[in-house]
């Protein structure tokens, strides 16, 4: 056992924009290499919708969308951890487990759910209806569950097992709901534990751990576009707290960024596209929320924002997703600067973003590229290379992966 770790022993993967960057497909790709013994989620809950695409034995595409479970599900040797920083909807979690079990995926001895994670209750779902109208929340009870946690009136998963029928009735607001809830608890019980021990022992024995962030850095409760944010910390700095491991465990951070920008819900969005462009891109790229099905708001790549998130989030490497989708445009605007807003010393980030005018540089489009035989940077079309160079120069992060489609083989490692 050692406390000295290698730089590469962990990798923290976070969305570098407003979520939906393609974290699921990147983490599935990384987990499939067999390099990572653990994939651990540290924040959020079923507001996330991480999509993983694969092929069945007859080469037909299958899409899995996981909301709680880490995106390492498809590699049977990868252990999966749901951290204490998450909020769990037990009914949805069990359905996720059972649906995947029907598809032949086993969770025995590989799924660990933190007994310290807080639980989303019917009252939280009800209270989130208002947030849905006001902020465009996903309506999954996330904000109210975190609010109760902070107010010390929430309930941790491990404590649910000790409640009496009367206490459960009060909590669920309905006595008839109790037997079904107890059944749910019993089904989940084999996976519940204090994950601190599981992960810390694994870490100290040299296992490689991938921390999977949900949402995107711009949705972080402390550093995002408040109040148009989620209710948890999304930044890599929260990963150790959200699974209960030493802060020394976070060293290397991979940011996932779309080649353009999208967001769902309300809030400032400086590079939001004109309706005609966003409609064309949305239809072409299928830009609808994986959790809610809502059409995503679409915008051009915003480098002032992405570079700020790289600096603030300690991102030294990027995976660029959906590059193929931009092929429908003859030229591609990229925001390289903001004008029109005098920043005062007391101005908040949100207020600033609400007032800025993006300054664009026009990049040549690359059309409908056949990426099948492209494996290196130099084989990429020159227009794409220039796009990548611009990102690397402004963000001071290396683009390590380029994804050009949802399947595992549609990833180019640069
Ligand atoms: P909540 O997390 O459901 O409270 O939603 C708060 C804000 O975060 C809303 O704008 C949501 O659309 C957004 N949000 C939450 N989770 C995700 C996600 O996984 N992807 C994209 N946006 C999200």
Q: Where are the beta strands (DSSP E) in 25-140?
A: 38-41, 50-55, 61-66, 79-82, 87-88, 111-114, 118-119
Question: What atom of ligand 1 comes closest to residue 265's alpha carbon?
Answer: 10
Shortest-distance Cα residue to atom 19 of ligand 1: 48
In this structure, the residue with its CA closest to atom 8 of ligand 1 is 230
**Would the pLDDT of 23 be above 80?**
yes
Q: Is 46 in the pocket of ligand 1 (CB under 6 A)?
A: no
- pLDDT of 5 strictly over 80: no
Q: Quote the ligand 1 centre to 135 CA distance (angstroms).
A: 9
Would you say residue 3 has pLDDT above 60? no
**Token pair recorded at residue 353:** 């973003």
Residue 209 DSSP label = E
Q: 227: cis peptide before it, omega within 30°?
A: yes
Among residues 151, 308, 158, 138, which one has the least CA distance to residue 244?
Answer: 158
To test the ligand 1 pocket, which listed residue (137, 232, 262, 267) has its Cβ within 8 A of the most ligand atoms?
137
For atom 9 of ligand 1, which residue has the closest CA? Answer: 137
Q: What is the pLDDT of residue 289?
A: 86
Angle at 395 between CA 32 and CA 385, to 5 degrees: 70
pLDDT > 70? residue 270:
yes
pLDDT tops 60 at residue 31 = yes
Task: Please write the tens of the pLDDT for every residue from 199-220.
Answer: 999 999 999 999 999 999 999 9
Take atom 21 of ligand 1 and give the residue whose Cα is closest: 19
Distance 292 CA to ligand 1 centre (A): 10
Q: Does any ligand 1 atom lie closer than 6 A to the CB of residue 262?
A: no
- Chain segment 162-181, per-residue pLDDT in tens: 999 999 999 999 999 999 99
What average pLDDT score do residues 380-387 get? 98
pLDDT at 6 exceeding the cut of 80: no
Whole-number Å distance, alpha carbon 287 to ligand 1 midpoint, is: 15
Q: Is the CB of 265 under 6 A from ligand 1?
A: yes
pLDDT tens string 120-163 = 999 999 999 999 999 999 999 999 999 999 999 999 999 999 99
- For the beta carbon of residue 3, count every other beta carbon within 10 angstroms: 8
Rounded mean pLDDT of 89-94? 98
Does ligand 1 have an atom closer than 6 angstroms to the CB of 214? yes
- Report how far apart, in Å, the C-alpha atoms of 281 and of each of 16, 52, 202, 358 are: 20, 21, 43, 20
């Amino acid at each position: 056992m050692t406390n000295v770790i290698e730089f590469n022993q962990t990798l923290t993967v976070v969305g570098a924009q407003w979520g939906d960057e393609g974290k699921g497909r990147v983490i599935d790709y990384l987990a499939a290499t067999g390099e990572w013994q653990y994939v651990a989620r540290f924040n959020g809950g079923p507001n996330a919708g991480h999509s993983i695409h694969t092929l069945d034995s007859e080469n037909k595409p299958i899409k899995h969308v996981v909301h709680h479970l880490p995106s390492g599900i498809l590699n049977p040797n990868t252990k999966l951890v749901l951290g204490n920083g998450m909020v769990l909807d037990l009914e949805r979690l069990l359905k996720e487990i059972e649906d995947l079990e029907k598809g032949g995926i086993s969770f025995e001895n590989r799924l660990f759910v933190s007994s310290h994670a807080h639980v989303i209750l019917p009252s939280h779902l009800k209270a989130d209806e208002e947030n849905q109208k006001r902020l465009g929340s996903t309506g999954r009870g996330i904000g109210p569950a975190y609010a109760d946690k902070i107010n010390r009136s929430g309930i941790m998963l491990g404590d649910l097992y000790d409640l009496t029928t009367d206490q459960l009735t009060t909590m669920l607001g309905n006595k008839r709901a109790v037997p079904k809830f107890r059944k749910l608890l019993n089904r989940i019980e084999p996976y519940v534990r204090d994950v601190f021990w599981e992960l810390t022992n694994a870490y100290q024995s040299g296992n490689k751990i991938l921390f999977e962030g949900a949402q995107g850095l711009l949705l972080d409760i402390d550093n995002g576009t408040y109040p148009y944010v989620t209710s948890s910390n999304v930044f890599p700095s929260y990963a150790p707290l959200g699974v209960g491991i030493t802060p020394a465990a976070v060293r290397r951070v991979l940011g996932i960024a779309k080649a353009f920008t999208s967001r769902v819900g309300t809030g400032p969005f400086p590079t939001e596209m004109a309706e005609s462009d966003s409609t064309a891109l949305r239809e072409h790229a299928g830009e609808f929320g994986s959790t809610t099905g809502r059409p995503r708001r679409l915008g051009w790549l915003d480098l002032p924002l992405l570079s700020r998130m790289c600096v603030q989030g300690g991102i030294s490497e990027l995976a660029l997703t959906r590059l193929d989708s931009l092929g429908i445009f003859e030229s591609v605007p990229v925001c390289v600067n903001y004008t029109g807003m005098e920043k005062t010393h007391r101005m908040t980030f949100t207020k600033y973003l609400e007032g800025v005018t993006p300054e664009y540089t026009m990049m040549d489009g690359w059309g409908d590229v056949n990426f099948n035989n492209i494996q290196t940077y130099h084989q990429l079309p020159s227009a794409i290379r220039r796009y990548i160079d611009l990102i690397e120069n402004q963000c001071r992060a290396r683009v390590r992966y380029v994804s050009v489609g949802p399947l595992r083989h549609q990833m180019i490692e640069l």
